Amino acid sequence: MMIDLHMHTPRCGHAAGAPSEYVAAARRAGLEVIAFTDHLALPDGYDPDGEYAMRPGELGDYVAEVREVQRLSGHSPRVLLGIEADWVPPHRGQTARAIASHAFDVVLGSVHFLGDWAFDDPSLIDEWSLRDVAGAWDEYFEAFTHAAASGLFDVMAHPDLVKKFGHVPPGDLSALYKDVAAAVADAGVAVEVSSAGLRKPCREIYPSDALLSAFCRAGVPVTTASDAHTPEEVGSGLAEVREAVERAGYSSIVYFEAREMREVPL
């Protein structure tokens, strides 16, 4: 079953194409289940240029728009209503209220900020030269595991996004990965395996084979996703993603419906 559980709409300010075009692209690609998961509005001050996420008042319109394509799609593919929410710890109450305000099928949790630094924004890449890479990784995975344990999210998106521009600490990361996987397993959430990294400077699926194997050993379920920001990207790289999932030792993947996990064979 080909599933793409992460895609966007132009409401976020950095995606293109109408939702109906994403659905048509999914149908052409033979996908059976897709989820729209646009970026939930960020707390005040985190998105000054309106390029990271939808506006605070747009959530209702976004939901109505997804419901409309859901109706028109006639279950081919199945269209799920999702949202991608940032982990911004000082504002977790606000995030929780927004998530609870609609009947989402799936809620993705993402770490895009270390403090107030949007570390994956290409326009802020210079900040990396001021940072210790290993320190940034520790900070990232601490936030990632706290987000996983927060109870807000069903799936943790792009698990090692911190490597996006190719910043990877030297040495053996297996102890870190084992700890991260154990924390995520305890939290009871799934993690996403995403082709988006293949289209970024790191040129690698999120998460790496080593981290994905650690998740598998810890019993963490996985979803598959493109993180499409254009219709052309819908389903892209899913074959590689599924190979990585199988290589790591998985025999099944999951998706969510009304926030209940559904397991299907790979």
Residues that bind Zn ion (CB under 5 A): 84, 227
Smaller CB separation from Zn ion, 105 or 227: 227
Q: How far is the CB of 86 from Zn ion (least distance, A)?
A: 10
Smaller CB separation from Zn ion, 112 or 185: 112
Rounded to whole angstroms, the Cα distance separating 235 from 37 reads: 14
The answer to whether residues 80 and 5 touch, using CB atoms and an 8 Å cutoff, is yes
Chain residue at closest Cβ approach to Zn ion: 227
Smaller CB separation from Zn ion, 114 or 216: 114
Q: How far is the CB of 218 from Zn ion (least distance, A)?
A: 24
Smaller CB separation from Zn ion, 14 or 28: 14
- The residue type of 187 is A
Q: What is the DSSP string of 61-119?
A: HHHHHHHHHHHHHTTSSEEEEEEEEE--GGGHHHHHHHHHTS--SEEEEE--EETTEET
Rounded to whole angstroms, the Cα distance separating 85 from 108 reads: 6
Smaller CB separation from Zn ion, 173 or 225: 225
Query: How many CB atoms sit inside 10 A of residue 39's CB?
Result: 24
Task: State both tokens at 116.
Answer: 């107030």
Q: How far is the CB of 81 from Zn ion (least distance, A)?
A: 15
Rounded to whole angstroms, the Cα distance separating 161 from 202 reads: 9
Rounded to whole angstroms, the Cα distance separating 32 from 264 reads: 12
Q: How far is the CB of 211 from Zn ion (least distance, A)?
A: 18
